[in-house]
Amino acid sequence: MSTVESRPRIGAGVNRVDGPRKVTGTAPYPMDFSVPGQAYGALVQSTVAAGRIVRMHTEAAEGAPGVITVITHENAPKVGTGPVTVLGASPPPPLRDDRVVHHGQHIAFVVAETPEQATAAARLVRADYEATEPLLDLQDPRAEQLVDPWGTDTSRGDSAAALESAEVTLRATYTTADNTNNPLGLFATLAAWEGETLTVHDTSQWPSMVRTCLAMVFGIPESSVRVLVPYVGGGFGAGLRAWPHVILTAMAARMIKRPVKLVLTRPQMFTSVGHRPSGVQWLSVGATRDGELVALDHRSLSSLSMEDNDYEPFAWASSFAYRCPNVTTQDRQARLNVAVPTSMRAPAEAQGNFALESALDELAHSLRMDPLELRLRNHTDVDPRNGLPWSGKALLECYEVGARRFGWSDRNPEPRSMRDGNWLVGYGMASALFPYFAQPCAAQATVNRDGSALVRSAATDIGTGTYTVMAQLAAEELGLSLDLVRFDLGDSDMPNAMMAGGSGLTGALGNAVHDACRRLVRSFAELACGDADSPLLGFSPDDVECTDGKVHPVGRPHLGESYADILARHGLSELTANGNSTPPVATELGMSLAGAYGAKFVEVRVDADLGLLRVARVVSVIDGGRILNEKTARSQIIGGTVGGIGMALFEDTVTDPRTGRIANGTFADYLVAVNADVPEMDVVFVGEPDRGTATGTKGVGEVGLVGIAPAIANAVYHATGKRLRELPITLDALL
């Protein structure tokens, strides 16, 4: 059979297999589904951030046209709690009691015959509150702080002593704003019960988990719940939870014995489905005069809601990003009266890498050293935590190729030295990584009598290209042309898949698809090799491969026969095999699992008088291991870069410091990068297939974003001489 080494390092950039549906508007997203007899839900959200509800006034809503029911904490059935996952505890179920812990908390759910009636009636629901003073300031001493909530704090050597004795030290504080995921697709849930069986269309990046959660919440077997999401409409992390509104919709459907559909409004997307939490980071760096790091102390404090978990260890990756003998990293979270934060594209790394790569730029300037040279000097090919080699790390190649393509050597190192008319020109760079992550995955592969293949798993394609790259991978393993292979997903009745998150799905699912396809080929080989009518008779099933639609002895395609022939002769309509993957263990491999790396080079232009800031060009060189599809992988890096530009320049979810209300919860007020904000981009993939996994992929969904914000901030310093340690960087800071 084929091996990793014989495969192309960069797979063919074929068009997305779901492209025709997406460009014709026929791809069905959760909000596009309807079932006969469905009613419509509308949320009522709290208008205070802390306190308790004294009384709910629902009479007007109950009497409004078309209203079927109004659910509040006073009449909601008691339900169970969802599972604890790798992301922490499930969000607490809705309408449990009279407590309010953030502005915009769901306090009632109105169900009516039409969406207009539900929305109109929801506005008639009022609540009397006993409001208390909300905790909204990250550094409020009254806020409970969670110390090392993820067990990720690290310490090696003696960073305090090393800082004390270092030839050069730098101490700086960096802050990053709350950002809101805001996928374009409004989150929607359509829940329908048939007896004790629940079918849900839901905007989710993890249907297997939503199924588990709903089964636990309603006390029914998992086999009685089906979650469907063939097309997501974007997520960027917002779809990694079974949110309270999902439970509310299913609860309402059960109560009224009719299907219920809910589509969130854009303002509700700011309070209901997570956001990237704001944070403060304190960096202390010690180095020798020639730029060798001797100490690194990286601490963070980020915001958390009152009752939820959010995996967000900003500082953790600083413990293995560079070679440095004395390192301390510590992460804390402060519980505030804010809506629950959650993963948003490159969780923790987006923020942590901004602080680290800004600090290194500051250090380089204080040493009068090329920032790129500083990175090279502290590069490590082994994991500094355990001394193991990385399973794949082509970061040096990223630096080299990136610097060349960008023209880094043309840079005049002096800040405010480069100019084009009235534009101050600045070059900046940053290193990027996104750590390895995987969870168990399963897949099933079938070859049908007509010779076509169907491979499936309860995964999602949030825009990353899962439909396409898994079909490509299966076609390769099965020796079939791509048009004969279909990959199906988005249905929790299919074999369990991990979330589309943490840049982990392509690798973990790819390995499961790889396993399923190999087992399937093996089944065909065993049938054929023991069959007197087969040209494969007498060959060992171990020495069989598949090319051009034929199963044949290795290297001897003329002795092959097609899947269809084998099935026909044995009177079978299909053969099916199941495959699994589990994350490899570093100590068993003798390697540390590397994750993706990248080097980012950015040119900015700042108007010398007006402070206007434009990103003029970006070069991203990425080590993503084996790339399954050059086109969709490149799109991931482009999209991540756009997200990074948004984080650096625009995105800032503003919470009113007195009321806790989000003050800019619309697309008119919350700025994201638009087409005119985004320049030409150069994206290059380097490196080799990762040695730690069967398929050699690393996952590139997040590494495209990481490093963009610090590269921009560093370029702004180079252009203007102003060091900006707070995101987003807005015009007023440059005047």
Partner 1 sequence: MTDVASRRDAGERPAPPERVVTLTVNGRSYALRMDTRVTLLDALRDRLGLVGTKKGCDQGACGACTVHLDGRRVLACLTLAAQAEGRAITTIEGISGTDGPHPVQQAFMEHDGFQCGFCTPGQIMSAVALMAEGRAGSDEEIREFMSGNLCRCGAYPNIVAAIREAATRGGHDARL
CA distances from 633 to 97, 244, 468 (A): 46, 33, 11
Those residues with Cβ within 8 angstroms of residue 219's Cβ, 6 or more apart along the chain or in another chain = 79, 80
Sheet holding 51-57, edge to edge: 99-100, 51-57, 126-131
Q: How far is the CB of 130 from partner 1 (least distance, A)?
A: 19
CA distance to 48, 52, 270, 663, 671, per residue, from 131 (Å): 7, 6, 22, 19, 31
Neighbouring CB atoms inside 10 A of 639's CB total: 18
- Cβ distance to partner 1 smaller for residue 269 or 374: 269
Q: Are 691 and 628 in contact (CB under 8 A)?
A: no
* Shortest distance (Å) from residue 21 CB to partner 1: 8
Q: Residue 371: which of 425, 409, 423, 337 has the closest Cα?
A: 409
Distance of alpha carbon 411 from alpha carbon 409, whole angstroms? 5
Residue 116 or 483 having the CB closest to partner 1: 116
Q: What gap in Å lies between CA 364 and CA 88, rounded to an integer?
A: 38
Residue type, 248: L
Q: Which residues bind partner 1 (CB under 8 A)?
A: 15-16, 18-29, 31-32, 60, 63-65, 115-116, 123-124, 126, 182-186, 231-236, 263, 265-266, 462-465, 631-632, 634-636, 638-643, 666-668, 672-678, 680-681
Closer of 188 and 529 to partner 1 (Cβ): 188
Pair 206, 239: CB distance under 8 Å: yes
Closest separation between CB of residue 363 and partner 1, Å? 31
Q: Torsion angle, CA of 636/637/642/646, rounded to 10 degrees?
A: 100
Which token pair is 407?
């023209």
Least distance in angstroms from the C-beta of 309 to partner 1: 25
Catalytic residue among 133, 574, 702, 726: 702
Active site residue 292: no
Instruction: Please identify, using beta-carbon distances, which residue of 116 and 414 lies nearer to partner 1.
Output: 116
Beta carbon nearer to partner 1, 281 or 468: 468
Residues 697-720: b if buried by 16+ CB within 10 A, e if exposed: bbbbbbbbbbbbbbbbbbbbbbbb
Least spacing, CB of residue 463 vs partner 1, in Å: 3
332 Cβ neighbours under 8 A, 6+ residues apart: 145, 146, 147, 148, 149, 299, 300, 301, 302
Count of beta carbons in the 10 Å neighbourhood of residue 442: 24
Which positions ≥6 away from 643 have C-beta within 8 Å? 236, 345, 346, 673, 704, 705, 708
Pick from 517, 541, 516, 518: nearest CA to 528:
541
Pick 116 or 533: Cβ nearer partner 1: 116
Residue 165 or 667 with smaller CB distance to partner 1:
667
Minimum Å gap between C-beta 27 and partner 1 is 5
Q: How far is the CB of 201 from partner 1 (least distance, A)?
A: 13
Which residues are marked as active site? 702
